Amino acid sequence: MSYINFNSDSVKNFVADHELDEIQPLVSLAHEQLENRSGAGADFTDWVTLPTDTKQADLDRFKAAAQQIQSDSDVLVVIGIGGSYLGAKMAIDFLNPMFNNELAKEQRKGVKVYFAGNSMSSAYLTDLIRTIGDQDFSVNIISKSGTTTEPAVSFRVFKELLEKKYGKEGAKKRIYATTDGQRGALHNEAEEAGYETFVIPDGVGGRFSVLTPVGLLPIAASGADIDSLMQGARDSEREYDNEDLKKNDAYRYAALRRILYDKGYTSELLTNWEPSMQYLSEWWKQLMGESEGKNQKGIYPTSANYSTDLHSLGQYIQEGRRDLFETVVKLDNPIVDMPLPTEEGNNDGLHYLEGKTIDEVNTKAFQGVVLAHVDGGVPNLAVHLPKQDEYTLGYLIYFFEKAVAISGYLFAVNPFNQPGVEAYKTAMFALLGKPGYEEETKEYSKSLGK
């Protein structure tokens, strides 16, 4: 049995067993393309063996830098966008108490971690600077090129703050650059200034980079155990290295998604029952959407946080258009459980729940939602997690990464590029008057009536 339990029993009314048998040859071909590095985007498939290829010496270096940050800083500002942000944010939320940044230093395992460079909001930056206040802080700037607009803008702001607070020499010791190993504006600046630098592997795209220093350094700084995280990913790598749909749950998940898509279920809701998993969904949405959404094909990835969103989206999910299916990530054993208090009388109508814990109620709500949604025509898949810890998260990260690679090949697209992302950048650069975009500036200005 797999360490994490993928349950597809609730799609039996939507997908027949023979349909999985019929898609098996396509899955086998996708597996061969991925393992042999012969499919589209093969130059960006180093993540496939990344868990086992990562050396302990590298992990020790990340941990040493994290310890240095913890020793001289109360706060780490992680600057990045997309894959340079979502993986670390997802993991730190998953592995730490919900209000970790509000806890006293002696109650936390590591530093407070805040994120910047993930928007162009001056209000956000202003509020973050006010929140940091007089606390000692360091910066981890994450950018392959160093010229991506959102993180580059934030880095300018926080570099100036560091220099004002610690002087230029002191600031350099508090800047950690995660970037390209040979080229790019950030690489050149880091080399010239003497920042401690970590390399983003050439063969790993941003949305697959959480198990590189992109994610591992800030995760370690938060106090999480990256050795255990990588061990989970290594064991997952071995678990999901089999083309047989009867033996490989990650591939089975990919195959079922494709079969459901062909039946008209073109949107997938990733749902959870723990608020600390909200950013797991955000990371997953980039992984799935950026990998599959090409050539006017692909499943639209969206998410819901239960039970909260049952009181807003629940009506639509139950009785709206029948073009969506759900994949639930369910924690089977919570970090902590709380008994429902008893009291005299029954003014709140909760007498029938006395003697139960809150997680028991949560689990029954999960089971009831699956029954109701399946009965309403919404196929349901479930990924059950035995624990909420580093090992489990490493296992889960690799499960989803392997699944989307196979799914992308089943859609006959390149799962490892993102050509559409450049479209908005071209328009933005043109409208801002960036040198080299003169023709585009004329074109877009004309279309806006300027």
pLDDT tens across 375-397, in order?
999 999 999 999 999 999 999 99
pLDDT single digits (tens) 69-112? 999 999 999 999 999 999 999 999 999 999 999 999 999 999 99
pLDDT single digits (tens) 174-186? 999 999 999 999 9
Residues 169 and 375: their CA atoms lie apart, in Å, by: 64
Report which of 38, 400, 353, 39 is spatially closest to residue 211, judged by C-alpha positions: 400
Work out the percent of the chain whose per-residue pLDDT is above 90: 91
CB–CB of 312/432 below 8 Å? no
Beta bridge partners of 234: none
What is the per-residue pLDDT for 443?
Answer: 61
**Residue 1 predicted with pLDDT over 80:** no
**Residue 372 predicted with pLDDT over 60:** yes
DSSP 8-state symbol, 345: S
**Residue 259 predicted with pLDDT over 60:** yes
Which positions ≥6 away from 260 have C-beta within 8 Å? 11, 14, 15, 325, 379
For range 350-361, the mean pLDDT: 95
Inter-axis angle of helices 278-292 and 86-95, to 10 degrees? 150
Q: With bands split at pLDDT 50, 70 and 90, how would you rate the model's confidence at 444?
A: low
- Residue 254 is inside which H or E element, if any? helix 249-262
Report which of 116, 143, 137, 118 is spatially closest to residue 198, judged by C-alpha positions: 143
Report which of 144, 40, 41 is spatially closest to residue 83, judged by C-alpha positions: 144
What is the per-residue pLDDT for 438?
Answer: 66
Which 3-state string (H, E, C) describes 147-212?
Answer: CCHHHHHHHHHHHHHHHHHHHHHHHHCCEEEEECCCCCHHHHHHHHHCCEEEECCCCCCHHHCCCC
What is the per-residue pLDDT for 433?
Answer: 78
Q: Edge-to-edge strands of the sheet including 300-305?
A: 5-7, 380-385, 324-331, 267-272, 300-305
DSSP 8-state symbol, 109: S
pTM: predicted TM-score of the whole model, two decimal places: 0.95
What is the per-residue pLDDT for 240?
Answer: 98
Q: With bands split at pLDDT 50, 70 and 90, how would you rate the model's confidence at 446?
A: low
Three-state SS for 321?
Answer: coil
For range 44-64, the mean pLDDT: 98
Parallel, antiparallel, or unpaired for β 175-179 and 137-142?
Answer: parallel
Residues in the chain: 450
**Residue 64 predicted with pLDDT over 60:** yes
Residues 157 and 400: their CA atoms lie apart, in Å, by: 35
What is the per-residue pLDDT for 426?
Answer: 75
What is the per-residue pLDDT for 435?
Answer: 81
The stretches of 3-148 forming alpha helices (DSSP H) are: 17-35, 50-53, 56-72, 86-95, 122-132
CB–CB of 78/222 below 8 Å? no
Work out the percent of the chain whose per-residue pLDDT is above 70: 96
What is the per-residue pLDDT for 244?
Answer: 98
Report which of 205, 193, 34, 221 is spatially closest to residue 110, judged by C-alpha positions: 221
Q: With bands split at pLDDT 50, 70 and 90, how would you rate the model's confidence at 448?
A: low
- Which residues participate in catalysis according to the annotation? 290, 425
For range 304-321, the mean pLDDT: 98
Tokens standing for 238? 């071995």
pLDDT single digits (tens) 226-243? 999 999 999 999 999 999
What is the per-residue pLDDT for 447?
Answer: 62
**Residue 59 predicted with pLDDT over 90:** yes
What is the per-residue pLDDT for 2?
Answer: 85
What is the per-residue pLDDT for 100?
Answer: 97
Tokens standing for 250? 């990650």
For range 273-282, the mean pLDDT: 98
Which positions ≥6 away from 84 have C-beta within 8 Å? 117, 142, 143, 144, 151, 178, 206, 209, 214
Instruction: Count Cα neighbours of 100 within 13 Å in the Cβ-side half-sphere.
Output: 23
For range 284-306, the mean pLDDT: 97
Could you tell me where the beta strands, DSSP code E, fall in 299-397?
300-305, 324-331, 380-385
Burial class (CB within 10 angstroms; exposed 0-12, middle 13-18, buried 19+) of 281: buried
